[in-house]
């Protein structure tokens, strides 16, 4: 390498090192800002404790009641059909008969199962695609397919509330994942 070459590569090395270090320093400052000070002032800790003491703890009963309200709400999922879950699963059971759905351009009938004792069967294989589904998936499937509404975010409390109500219809039943749906009044030709 010529002398000129050595000088140029040294200059490049110094520049890279300098910028590298300053970037590191900037990142370090940023990290400091992002990290919480592990020493929270005592007054602040006391205030947080006070707030937690005042918070009313949620209960399964309260969640179940919120879920039951959702179950009977004809506007659930902003649906346009005016149906609630109870329209087909009256009182958590089944009104009998079948509901219509279309799949790949085909119209098909699907027998309406009772939800009494249904929750213990999940996860289970359901639907024309024979996919594995959990209880929250089934609740959303009914909202989207039959009620033509928007699904409920499964990571949010309302989805759990609705599951709590549906699960309350299986109280005392044995858990048996993979179980079949129960149709009180089978309909010929229905899935």
Which residue, 32 or 160, is less far from ligand HEC as judged by CB?
160
Neighbours of 122 (CB within 10 A): 23
124: Cα separation from own chain's centroid? 17
Burial of 141 per CB tally in 10 Å (0-12, 13-18, 19+): middle
Tell which one of 64, 68, 121, 161 touches ligand HEC (CB under 6 A): 121
Distance CA 77, CA 143 (A): 7
Tell which one of 138, 159, 164, 169 touches ligand HEC (CB under 6 A): 138
CA atoms 78, 84, 88, 93: torsion sign: positive
Distance CA 16, CA 10 (A): 10
User: Are the CB atoms for 113 and 190 separated by under 8 Å?
Assistant: no
Q: Which stretch binds ligand HEC (CB under 6 A): 13-21, 22-30, 36-44, 118-126?
A: 118-126
CB of 186 to ligand HEC, least distance (A): 12
Q: Which stretch binds ligand HEC (CB under 6 A): 2-10, 49-57, 110-118, 168-176?
A: 110-118
Q: Does 164 bind ligand HEC (CB under 6 A)?
A: no
Pair of tokens at residue 78: 């902003």
Q: Does 169 bind ligand HEC (CB under 6 A)?
A: no
Q: Does 89 bind ligand HEC (CB under 6 A)?
A: yes
Q: Does 181 bind ligand HEC (CB under 6 A)?
A: yes
Binding positions for ligand HEC, rule: CB under 6 A: 71, 76, 83, 85, 87-89, 99, 110, 112-113, 115, 118, 121, 126-127, 135, 138-139, 142-143, 146-147, 162, 166, 181
């Amino acid at each position: 390498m010529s002398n000129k070459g050595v000088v140029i590569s040294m200059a490049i090395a110094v520049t890279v090192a300098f910028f590298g270090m300053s970037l590191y320093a900037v990142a370090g400052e940023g990290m400091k800002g992002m990290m919480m000070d592990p020493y929270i002032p005592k007054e602040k800790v006391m205030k947080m404790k006070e707030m937690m003491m005042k918070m009313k703890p949620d209960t399964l009963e309260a969640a179940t009641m919120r879920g039951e309200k959702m179950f009977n709400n004809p506007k659930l999922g902003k649906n346009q059909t005016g149906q609630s879950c109870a329209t087909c699963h009256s009182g958590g059971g089944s009104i009998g008969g079948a509901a219509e759905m279309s799949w790949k351009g085909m119209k098909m009938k699907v027998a309406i199962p009772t939800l009494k004792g249904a929750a213990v069967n999940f996860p289970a294989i359901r639907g024309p695609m024979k996919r594995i589904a959990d209880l929250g998936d089934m609740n959303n499937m009914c909202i989207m397919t039959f009620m033509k509404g928007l699904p409920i975010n499964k990571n949010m409390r309302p989805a759990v509330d609705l599951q709590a109500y549906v699960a309350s219809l299986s109280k005392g039943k044995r858990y048996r994942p993979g179980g079949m749906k129960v149709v009180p009044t089978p309909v010929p030709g229905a899935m």
